[in-house]
Amino acid sequence: MTLRLSYREAMREALREALHGDPRVFLMGEDVGRYGGSYAVSKGLLEEFGPERVRDTPLSELGFTGAGIGAALGGMRPIVEVMTVNFSLLALDQIVNTAALYRHMSGGQFSVPLVIRMATGAGRQVAAQHSHSFEGWFASIPGIRVLAPATVEDARRMLAPALAAPDPVLIFEHAGLYNMEEEIPEASSVDIHTAQVRRAGKDVSLIAYGGGLPKAKQAAELLSAQGIDAEVVDLRVLRPLDDATIMESVAKCRRAVIVDEGWRSVGLAAEVMARIVEQVFYELDAPLARVCSAEVPIPYARHLEEAALPQADKIAAAACQLIS
């Protein structure tokens, strides 16, 4: 049996399942209750579970993220929703200096079983302040796990293992994916440890995550029309990276393009490239390539925004250059 859901509906069903399954779970954040969430993910949950379980918060990311940490330390299983990734900067002290460090600094006496969800990414004409992709920043921080579900099934199934984890988990939901619909198994499970090969191939490995995954898949189709068999790897777990799956794909295809909606300089793509060079350099038949966002604040104008972001044709062109 399969279900057809949108990415948004999948996240909502995951939240509903978590709230039904464990009385310690509650959702908190700006507009998650009466408004139904900025992206309508939590629509209807307030009416179903009440204001104790679905809590609207003041406009203070620092404050309500800290409250979530305190609740987690006290035995609850909070899900904190930060409206967009750019607002997470207001909560950096709580995430980086408290949640990520508590287990280490307490000598293992305390853990923070906290899930923080946030919308990320560009491509929606919401201008520079609402188009950031800071997943790579958070992926550099020890003490947290960073997830980037890019399929409807991952959106539906990743929340449960995230809530079961003893330490903080950050889930980045690309806002450009909320309307995407896919068929998923009615009952399935996914892990929050491994990358996944979404399309098998042999000529070049396209390594992507989040909003970059659909574009990598489109690029693979463009390459297929030219007789190039591209493999598509979905990182999906950004910390800790699944080196084994990455290296297996690169060693097989012997060429790789890394796709990252973050900026090129000091980005996640650079980290993936460095690991490939460290571990499977002698398997490569060509230099590594990366397709990242332009080094500019994301423009508002549609044509400029599209030009600044990774696109399927840019990814395909980078792969063709490696092969030629």
Q: Apex CA 277: angle with CA 120 and CA 211, to 5°? A: 15
Q: What is the dihedral of CA 112, 113, 119, 121, to 10 degrees?
A: 70
User: Helix, strand, or coil here: 218?
Assistant: helix
Contacts of 297 (CB under 8 A, 6+ apart): 128
Identity of the residue numbered 321: Q
Query: Which active-site residues does the annotation give?
Result: 61, 130
Query: Within 10 Å of residue 271's Cβ, how many Cβ atoms?
Result: 17
In the block, tokens 């044709």 appear at 313
Backbone angles phi, psi at 97, to 5 degrees: -95, -10
Pairwise CA distance, residues 70 & 312, whole Å: 43
Task: Please report the sign of the dihedral spanned by the C-alpha atoms of residue 289, residue 245, residue 96, residue 107.
Answer: negative
Cα angle: 161, vertex 158, 193; to 5 degrees: 70
